[in-house]
Structure 1
Amino acid sequence: MKILDIYINGFGKFHGRNLTFHDGINIVYGKNEAGKSTIHTFIRSMLFGIERQRGRASRNDLYSRFEPWENSGTYEGQIRVEHKEHIYRIERTFQKNKKEFKVVDETAGREIEPTKAFLDDLLCGLSETSYINTISIGQLKSATDEGMVTELKNYIANLNTTGNLALNITKAAACLKSQRKELEAQMVPEAARTYTSLLSEIRNIEKEISAPEYENQIQTYQKLRVDMKTDLEERQAEKEELIKKVARGRQVLTSNQFTDHESIQSYSQKAKAHYDDYMEAQAACNRKPRKIASAISLIIATLLLCSTGIIYYMGESNYFSAYYGVDLILLLSIFVSSALIFYLIGLILFLRLRHHLKDMEMSGKILQEILSRHLGDTDISPDSIQAFQNRMAEFTRLCSAVSKSEAAISQKAAEIEDLNKKLEGCGVTIEIQQKSQWELEKKLDHLSGCKTQAEGLKHILAENDRIREEISAVDLALETMTNLSSSIRDSFGLYLNKAASDLIAGITGGIYTSMSVDENLNIFLNTKTKLVPLEQVSSGTMDQVYLALRLAAATLIQTGDEKMPFIFDDSFVLYDDDRLKTGLKWLSATYTNQIIIFTCHQREAQMMTANLMPYHLIEI
């Protein structure tokens, strides 16, 4: 496989950044903090993805450390690779809420489903752990020569034992043995005997409580008492509601000065009588003949009085005395009496009219007060009287409802009293059987405790069975691991030592011809004249041995004809100029696949230019 180019759209400090890689050696140069580690991690993340850790581990995991510095809405990128004459574009979005992974075959012009089989073929069979520990090569991290020797021994021991950098047979075996001891400590050997004893006790208790003397009458009475209490509470609640309803109705009636049907009927009849009086008085006052007769009587009386005055003034010469011989005194008496009669008639008619007006006014005031109180209106009309009568009918219905509710209250009170008597009787019955109930409850509590304990022991027994299965699995794993380790040591370990020895001869420029490891994992470098222990070589030579081992492991682990690009991350820091020149020449001549070198120095590019070695420089 070969990396063609990458596009970073939100990863660490980079946003919208393109980098193109060529065949052969690619040198990625940048000063410290320029972002080399970010690009290196981006390539790894595009190939294998990023998994967000949980809890405290997420604070400083790979996902958090390389979240975009700006424009955090995008956390994604692309990488184009060439594999088996096809160009693939890998697209990933790392954001946890919209994580995406897509592979496009640009040569075939279609999207590829990223199955495990396809990815294994594309990545030459490497897992992320194998990638990190083989083709992604850094320098030895130990600061001292002694620490570097220990690190190299651990690396060789692990490879020589298992053929996989992610495993360590010794540690794994120790871990399994420790796990076996922990599992044995978790077992409860007395659980089976205790469980059998409990089952026997449970059967005896169940037989005892099934006797007739423990027949479940108490529970029946308790249920009956609960039901009666519920019924009693419901009836009391209904009674309280009826009392409130009656109180509200009585309050309405009392506020309108009513007590019962008779008071409402009397009040209605009284209002009707006032209305009849009002209408009668109004009719009487509106009769014109009486008004006219009263006025005519007064006018006639006035005329008679005037005539009496004239006759008196004329004396015996008046018409009636002169022609008819009527005595003057008699004539005056007749006129005066007639005038008084007509005045009396007019006065009587006037007083009767005044009396009707007063009756109408009084009845009107009473009616207006009644209508204002019950209708909020003082207009006296047939419609108002009809509305008043409807209002009185509502009060009548309310009074009937109140009476019915009061009767219902009495009925509820009787029912409540009856229920209270029944409750008292039920309580007496329960008290009589209290002793049997207490004994039964004790036995039931004991039975419940036994069953709870038995259920817990059942889980313990199941756990014991599970632990035995795990112990058997651990024993099988130990046996299998022991058997396989010898086979792996005899196969992969020999191939690794041979491949590393061939590489050491080239990378050291022939100074050391091979490498050998004895049964105690002591490492020796071979020259033409002697074996040199690893502890006696320089730090730079140790770094060369480390590089040779990584290259050998990568060559052996990868499957298929094509190989992954080698990526060097400041791997040549400990190399002097001669050693660096030899190493670069050897890499250029030996490894024909793509190589990517991240460095913060310019000497790699300068040395390759000076020695006319082709390379592609990328500055960041």
Structure 2
Amino acid sequence: MIIKEVFMKNFGKFHNERLRFQPGINIVYGGNESGKSTLYTFFQGIFFGLRRKRGVASRTDTYTRCLPWENPSWYEGSVLFEAGKKDFRLERNFESRSQEAELYCVTDGEKMSVEEGDLEILLGGATQRIYENTAAIGQLKTRTEEGLTEELREYLTNFQTEGDFRLDPGAALDRLKDRRKEWEKEEKKAREKKERAREKLLDRIQYTREEIEDLEEKLERSRESFRDIGQDRQEEKSAEDRRESSFPLVFAALFFLGFLAGCAGAIFFQLSWLIPALIFLLGGAFLFWYFRDRGEKASARSRKEQDRAIRNERKKGQQITWKEALQDKRNLLYNLQEELEELENDNEKILKAQKEVQSISLAEKMLAKAAGNLQSRRGNFLKERTWEIFGELTQGRYQRGIIDENFQIRLDTGDRYAGLHQVSQGTAEQVYFALRMAAGELLCREEELPVILDETFAMYDDKRLCEALEWLHRNRAQVILLTCTRREIEALESLGIPSHQVDLQIRAGIKSSS
């Protein structure tokens, strides 16, 4: 990638300022407060955006520090760059509520999509974190020797544990663990749900069985009641039949004998014929009363029989209802037992969750192993390339070095290994520079990013400065070096290395260009 032009429409102190750059080494010169750090921040913001922090932190964050001095709500800029032999223009609105970015292919006259990843492709997959840890190096002049040594250790530790800043095995493993825990919860939930359903079914089965037993008992009592009623009715009817059949005969015999006695008395004893007549009338009256009473009793028996028949019909209807209910309960019990059997055999969700847990556990092991192998290979490349670059920067004064398991760096002086605390800060900064350049080669293989240096060589002596500039000239397609002195310009002229110069003054305008 080659940055050709930046246009700070409204960014910090810059307003409608256009800066042009060329391949090779570009020197942006300006005194203090001329806007070099603002330009350094603009490079990061135009490609990756500026996120505003929340709360108290928002008062001093990068977003707030670079708010336009005039009309802060108008916060925009653009960059023209070359990638893959084509020119592209990226326009960005930094305003926190919108954070809009538009990408155009100038060569083809085509609008592209930042949201769909077109910009990420043009950057070779580089993220903001990769950019900040490889291509962009800020001011080093305020670091002490001890502080720089500690930063080197932290940088190496992060690199070894977090890979290429895109593939983070630790984060990936954490995500897998979280996913595994989710499936373990799903398995537990499925088991608990199945157990609850099983207990519910068992309760329903037990209750249905009790209902069946209760209905069977009711039906049995109803049948016994019908048998007892029938037997009592038969005995009662037999007794009535016997009474009704014997009474008329006895009455007829008594009446006949009485009537004969009356007639005999009238004939032989010359009694009044009124006696047999009276006996006849009494017998007729008695017969009238008897048959009337018998009719009433028959009517009462008939009503009683009707009432009994109605009750029996009701009982029979109740029996039929109980029988139907009993059959329904038996069918329900059968269905519940089948449902319980199906539930016992239904382990699909549990088995699926178990399978997912096993698969994720296997993936965790494989990822951990693969990450270890990947980090080992990349770690070896990083170390080897760091020492190569460091050897070139020092013109062979230091050929090799070691980085131990505690990420302590030691330099091979030829007769012994010296720790960074035993060498000068300039040498330690050369190690830091070599390490970042090696990381850039490793992480930005698809698209080399321009190297952005903000007062990076402020603590270098003239010799180290020339060595660094020569290495950058040979190995990097574009370098943008921001400085407040003319040391870099003079060094490049003495080395015969061409450069493009941009002179910034306090007004942040382009004063001269060559």
| TM-score normalised by the chain length of structure 2 | 0.60
Give the secondary-structure state (helix, strand or coil) at the position aligned to 1:82: strand
Paired residue for 1:510? 396
- RCO higher in structure (CA 8 A, sep ≥6): 2
Q: Which residue of the partner structure matches residue 502 of structure 2?
A: 618
Separation (CA, whole Å) in 2 of partners of 1:596 and 1:101: 23
Deviation at 1:611, TM superposition (A): 3.1
Corresponding residue number in structure 1 for 2:479:
595
Which residue of 490, 493, 508 corresponds with 1:609? 493
Residue number in structure 1 paired with 2:341: none
Q: 2:311 is matched with which residue?
A: none
SS at match of 1:545: helix
Q: CA deviation at 1:13?
A: 1.4
Distance 1:533 1:54 in 2: 41
5+ residue gaps in structure 2?
A: 209-350, 505-514
Using the TM superposition, give the Cα deviation of residue 583 of structure 1 relative to its aligned residue in structure 2, in angstroms.
1.5
Q: Does 1:521 find its partner at 2:377?
A: no
Give the secondary-structure state (helix, strand or coil) at the position aligned to 1:575.
Answer: coil
Distance 1:479 1:55, change over 3 A: farther
Check the 8 A contact 2:30/2:484 in 1, yes or no.
yes
2:427 to 519, 526, 541: 541
Letter in structure 1 aligned against 2:397: I
**Residues 197 and 103 of structure 1: is their aligned pair in 2 closer, same or farther, counting only changes over 3 Å?**
closer
Please state if 1:565 is matched with 2:429.
Answer: no
Over 3 Å counting, the alpha-carbon distance change for 1:22 and 1:540 in structure 2 is: same
Helix, strand or coil for the counterpart of 2:9?
strand
- What SS class does the counterpart of residue 70 from structure 1 fall into? coil
Q: Is the 8 A contact 2:7 2:19 kept in 1?
A: yes
Q: Highest Rg: 1 or 2?
A: 1
Structure 1 unaligned segments of length 5 or more: list them: 208-464
Shift of the alpha carbon at 1:147?
Answer: 3.1
Partner Cα distance (1:60, 1:172) in 2? 33
Tell me, in whole angstroms, the C-alpha distance in 2 between the residues paired with 1:539 and 1:146.
Answer: 9
Cα gap change, 1:143 to 1:112, in 2 (>3 Å):
closer
Query: Matched residues in 2 for 1:540 and 1:5: separation?
Result: 33
1:73-92 matched pairs, under 5 angstroms: 73-92=73-92
RMSD: 4.2
Separation of aligned partners in 1, 2:114 and 2:35: 29
CA drift at 1:73: 4.3
TM-score (norm 1): 0.50
SS in 1 for 2:460: coil
Find the counterpart in structure 1 of residue 125 from structure 2. Answer: 125
SS in 2 for 1:493: helix
Taking the TM superposition and a 5 Å limit, the aligned residue runs for 1:441-590 are 478-560=364-446, 562-588=447-473, 590=474
Secondary structure of the structure 2 residue equivalent to 1:33:
coil
- Letter paired with 2:128: E
Tell me the CA shift for residue 602 of structure 1. 2.4
Change (3 A) 1:33 1:142: closer
* 1:223-262 aligned within 5 A: none
Cα offset, 1:603, TM superposition = 1.5
- Contact 1:570/1:600 (<8 A) preserved: yes
Deviation at 1:49, TM superposition (A): 2.3
The verdict on how the C-alpha distance between 1:482 and 1:602 changes in structure 2, with shifts beyond 3 A counting, is: same
CA distance in 1, matches of 2:64, 2:359: 38
Alignment of 1:380-391 (within 5 A): none
Say whether the 8 Å CA contact 1:504–1:515 is kept in structure 2: no
Rounded to whole Å, the distance in 2 between the matches of 1:69 and 1:99 is: 19
Shift of 1:476: 5.9
Displacement of 1:140 in angstroms is 5.1
Q: Which amino acid aligns with 1:6?
A: V
Q: Is the 8 A contact 2:140 2:457 kept in 1?
A: no
Which structure dedicates a bigger proportion of its chain to helix?
1
Structure 1 residues 471 and 70: alpha-carbon distance in aligned structure 2, compared to 1, 3 A threshold:
farther
- After superposition, the Cα gap between the structure-2 partners of 1:180 and 1:85, relative to the gap in structure 1 and judged at 3 Å, is closer
Q: Report the equivalent of 2:62.
A: 62
Shift of 1:479: 2.9
Corresponding position of 2:105 = 105
Identity within the alignment, %: 36
Return the alpha-carbon distance in structure 2 between the equivalents of residues 198 and 142 of structure 1.
72
SS of match in other structure, 1:153? helix
How far the C-alpha of 1:96 sits from its partner, in A, is: 4.2
- Matching of residue 2 in structure 1 with residue 9 in structure 2: no
Relative to structure 1, the CA distance from residue 159 to residue 107 in structure 2 (aligned partners, 3 Å threshold; closer, same or farther) is same
Aligned with 2:70: secondary structure? coil
What do residues 555-587 of structure 1 show as CA deviations (whole Å, max 9, x unaligned)?
Answer: 111133x52111112211221222112222222
After superposition, the Cα gap between the structure-2 partners of 1:575 and 1:16, relative to the gap in structure 1 and judged at 3 Å, is same
Alignment partner of 1:595: what SS? Answer: strand
d(CA) in 2 for partners of 1:113, 1:158:
32
Write the distance in 2 (CA, Å) between the matches of 1:149 and 1:182: 42
User: How many angstroms does 1:175 deviate by?
Assistant: 11
Cα offset, 1:23, TM superposition:
1.8
Q: Partner of 1:532: helix, strand, or coil?
A: strand
How far is the alpha carbon of 1:3 from its aligned partner? 0.6
- Are 1:504 and 1:545, in contact at CA under 8 Å, matched by a contact in 2? yes
State the 1:544 CA deviation.
Answer: 0.7
Shift, 1:178, TM fit: 11
Deviation at 1:94, TM superposition (A): 2.2
Supply the distance in 1 between the matched residues of 2:449 and 2:462 (Cα, whole angstroms).
28
Q: Decide whether the 8 Å contact of 2:89 with 2:103 is kept in 1.
A: yes
Aligned length: 368
Distance 1:508 1:166, change over 3 A: farther
Question: How do residues 19-30 of structure 1 correspond to structure 2 at under 5 angstroms?
Answer: 19-30=19-30
Q: Residue 199 of structure 1: CA displacement?
A: 6.4
* Aligned-partner Cα distance in 1 for 2:204–2:59: 57
For the structure 1 residues 499 and 193, does the alpha-carbon distance in structure 2 shift closer, same or farther, using more than 3 Å as the test? same
CA distance in 2, matches of 1:48, 1:527: 41
Equivalent residues in 2 for 1:183-582 (5 A)?
478-560=364-446, 562-582=447-467
